[in-house]
Amino acid sequence: MRILLIGGNGFIGSPLTRELLEGGHATAILHRGGDRAAQHANVRYIHADRNNLSACGSEVREFAPDVVIDLILSSGEQARQLMEFARGITPRVVALSSQDVYRAWGVLKRIEPGEVEPLPITEKSPLRSTRHLYAPEALRALQGIFGWVNEAYDKIAVEQFIMSTPHVAGTVLRLPMIYGVGDRLNRFFPLLKRIADGRRVILLAEDFAAWRAPRGYVDNVAHAIALAALDDRAGGRIYNICEEPCLPELEWQKRIARQINWTGEFVVLPVSRTPAHLRFPENAAQHIVVSSDSIRKELGYRDIVDLDEGIRRTVAWEQAHPPATLDPQQFDYAAEDQARAGAA
């Protein structure tokens, strides 16, 4: 097949491109240019701004993609432009969305009224009624990490355009929290730094220790995207992607610590005795336990990298690539020692 990736040079795009090439598929990447463009000798690179797709229409038509995969959609307007561009160019579009579209995420963020959402969350679970999930300052922080995020970020609007455009079959993939080689969020860093600093006791607030959330190793997520792109049965479908089971945070951190043979102790404290910088700011009563049964049963998806191997690879990368800046208040060891002594 002939596959066009929009924004294919990044965290998810790199393993996705590798898998497509290994499968013998002709692959093109539409991007704004940059040094990373030379990393795949067998990829065709199309330099363009994703907000001005019409400027590269003739080059994309010449490539004649069977499927377009858009990895960097942020707003409904971008999705509208994409689907308008796709008509007459490709029969199918695969768009990456987020599990933050679900009402449960709004309950977690305390912006959605009502009771906690029942679990597990499936593709038929209700979506948020509150469209703006992130506060402006949080959105600005995301923009500093992910250049494709814009002020109109709204994955619900993205999905609506992808799934409702005539003559182009849309597929939406709702992604979890993704870890792995190249993770610019450095999700493992707070734990790895404490271990590197010689901390023998690591504290977790009781509610956070029990909280469950969906995760996925980047190569596994890329594999799911490839499956959906290469299988016509995915046309018109929405799929959740995540590991199963969704582990509680305490078990997750223990799995990470086990990979570096840490022999210290995790201590769970009541929220009232937990230092302020370690308290979970969200509504921990709302767990985000997501079912990925649909893509596993319909398309035969499975994790190609097992959990411990994915963690091992991520730990090695994060140890070699710590964040450039850190918030020292996040590592108030004096407060942690005092809380630990009070609990003894």
Amino acid at 293: D
Contact between 56 and 30 under an 8 Å Cβ cutoff? The reply is yes
Please determine, for residue 36, whether its predicted confidence score (pLDDT) is greater than 60.
no
**Mean pLDDT throughout 119-142?**
92
Mean pLDDT, the chain, as a whole number?
Answer: 95
Give CA torsion, residues 240, 302, 86, 58, to 10 deg: 150
Helices (H) and strands (E) counted in the chain, each on its own, are 13, 11
Identify the three-state secondary structure at position 291: coil
Give the integer Cα–Cα distance in Å for 322 and 324: 6
Place of tokens 């709702």: 174
**For residue 114, is it left (φ>0), alpha (ψ between -120 and 50) or beta?**
left
The pLDDT of residue 104 is above 90: yes
Residue 344 is predicted with a pLDDT of 63
Which whole number is the average pLDDT over 52-78?
A: 95
Cα–Cα distance measured from residue 318 to residue 298, given in angstroms and rounded to the nearest whole number: 34
Bridge-based pairing of strands 44-47 and 26-31 is parallel
pTM above 0.75, yes or no: yes
Distances (CA, A) of 167 to 8, 70, 87, 329: 25, 18, 7, 53
